Amino acid sequence: MRAISLWSGPRNVSTALMYSFAQREDCEVIDEPLYAHYLSKVDVHHPGEEEVLATMNHDGREIIDQLLIPGDRPLRFIKKMAHHWINLDDGLLKKFSNIFLIRDPKEMLPSLINQIPNPVLRDTALKSQWDLYSKLANSGAEVAIIDSAQLLMNPKAILGKVCKTLKIPFDDKMLTWAKGSIPEDGVWAKYWYHNVHKSTGFQPYRKKDDLFPDHLSILLDECEPYYKLLFNHSIK
């Protein structure tokens, strides 16, 4: 079994990418299995956190071990937020095939404040993504980085290149799905997944023209260097 880890940040079309892989007959998907582990380790407040903590395993190492147990299908796609990787053995990263999903913070931050009104750098996952990517790249692991805008502009081409990196065949079924939720959605879906539940595929990319909120300018300055470093290595 191949375990594929998607290392994303919030508001990055990561759920749409999970839905895409869920359409493959050879693949099962798992939604943010380290969420309760993360919430139990840091002082943050997220929508629905009580339900997440009450219904999910908090033991990150135990979770990782379970994710590596072979299942009924040859592929397992695991959607993770990069900042959820906390107090865990980095040596375990190489047991997975790793994909990173990034988004321009100019577009991501105004969306993030709908759920987290006063985000800090940790909440964006960008530094965590760069740290994890650097560790994997320095170890010689093959890693794919996807920019969400590039993905939305040409889903078939970008997914084809991702599949080539993963050494799996591309499947046209990855481009569309039925409207609504899927059984694998996390319990937090009602707070975060409104747009993907209305969709039947990757929505066309539309550049945001709204004025950027002034109170996020300092955080944007913190985010941009990490985004640019990651984007330089991304699939085009």
- The hierarchical CATH code for the domain 2-232 is 3.40.50.300
pLDDT tens, residue by residue, 185-218: 999 999 989 999 999 999 999 887 778 999 999 9
Radius of gyration of the chain (CA): 17
- pLDDT of 124 reads 97
Count of C-beta atoms within a 10 Å radius of residue 206: 9
Domain extent listing, the chain = 2-232
Residue 209 main-chain phi, psi, to 5 deg: -105, 0
Contact 154, 202 (CB under 8 A): no
Could you give the CA distance from residue 77 to residue 144 in angstroms, rounded to a whole number? 14
pLDDT of residue 30 exceeding 90: yes
Could you give the CA distance from residue 3 to residue 1 in angstroms, rounded to a whole number? 6
**Average model confidence (pLDDT) across the chain:** 95
Could you give the CA distance from residue 117 to residue 100 in angstroms, rounded to a whole number? 25
- pLDDT of 16 reads 97
- pLDDT of 147 reads 98
Could you give the CA distance from residue 206 to residue 84 in angstroms, rounded to a whole number? 29
pLDDT tens, residue by residue, 103-161: 999 999 999 998 899 999 999 999 999 999 999 999 988 899 999 999 999 999 999 99
Number of H helices, E strands in the chain: 12, 5
pLDDT of residue 52 exceeding 80: yes
Could you give the CA distance from residue 21 to residue 75 in angstroms, rounded to a whole number? 9
pLDDT of residue 183 exceeding 90: yes
**What is this structure's pTM?**
0.95
- pLDDT of 47 reads 87
